Amino acid sequence: MYARPFIDSLDFAQNGKHISGELPVADLPRLLEILENTQGVLHYTVQGAVDKQGTHFLAVGVVGQCRLRCQRCLNGLDYPVRLETRLLLRDQASLDALDDDVAGGKEEEFDSILADTHLNVLDMLEEEILLSLPIAPKHELGACQATDGENAHREEKSPFAVLAKLKRN
């Protein structure tokens, strides 16, 4: 059993703390739902920092490999995970204000999350990994097993099935 780390996110950023570790995909239930199998280990790093404007953030990196399901032939598809992003830490009031901005068409370079004093690091990483994955992964033409047109046509439906599944959560 792997320890599930929690951090006090603002304190973590303020003090430039750092954690890193391994993330077996088998421990990420929401990710598992869209994977072809439970094999694969991702490596993560989370570095806290404060930018020049005084915004606290977490610099998040995830690398590794997982097995997605090709939406054309439904066979496994090796997918390299290379994720590097910043998550800005905000209190609830500024997150709400931000939602209004986004509705008004303003986009920010980085995503913002709630500055939680008890942030579940694996949940946060899982969310970011899910967001980074292609919605309808497919093999390169030629590498794909779905050769006949009838199959390809029938299985075109599956990306939507995957989407519907994601939306229910």
Q: Which two tokens stand for residue 107?
A: 């986009």
- Rounded CA gap, 35 and 24, in Å? 13
- Rounded CA gap, 147 and 151, in Å? 8
Q: How far is the CB of 144 from Zn ion (least distance, A)?
A: 3
- Rounded CA gap, 27 and 30, in Å? 9
139 scored as a contact of Zn ion (CB under 5 A): yes
Q: Which two tokens stand for residue 64?
A: 């590794």
- Rounded CA gap, 37 and 42, in Å? 14
144 scored as a contact of Zn ion (CB under 5 A): yes
- Of 13, 56, 66, 72, the residue at the interface with Zn ion (CB under 5 A) is 72
C-alpha distances in Å from residue 78, one per residue of 16, 37, 64, 124, 137: 34, 10, 10, 23, 10
Q: How far is the CB of 105 from Zn ion (least distance, A)?
A: 38
Q: How far is the CB of 49 from Zn ion (least distance, A)?
A: 41
* Binding segment toward Zn ion, per CB under 5 A, in 16-24, 55-63, 96-104, 144-152: 144-152
70 scored as a contact of Zn ion (CB under 5 A): yes
Task: Output 73 or 125, the one with its CB closest to Zn ion.
Answer: 73
Site for Zn ion in 9-68 (CB under 5 A): none
DSSP-derived letter for residue 34 is T
Task: Assess contact for 75 and 36: CB atoms under 8 A.
Answer: yes
86 scored as a contact of Zn ion (CB under 5 A): no
- Of 73, 88, 113, 124, the residue at the interface with Zn ion (CB under 5 A) is 73
Total chain residues near Zn ion (CB under 5 A): 5
Q: How far is the CB of 57 from Zn ion (least distance, A)?
A: 38
Taking the CB of residue 156, how many other CB atoms lie within 10 A of it? 13
* Binding segment toward Zn ion, per CB under 5 A, in 12-20, 32-40, 44-52, 132-140: 132-140
Q: What residues make contact with Zn ion under the rule CB under 5 A?
A: 70, 72-73, 139, 144
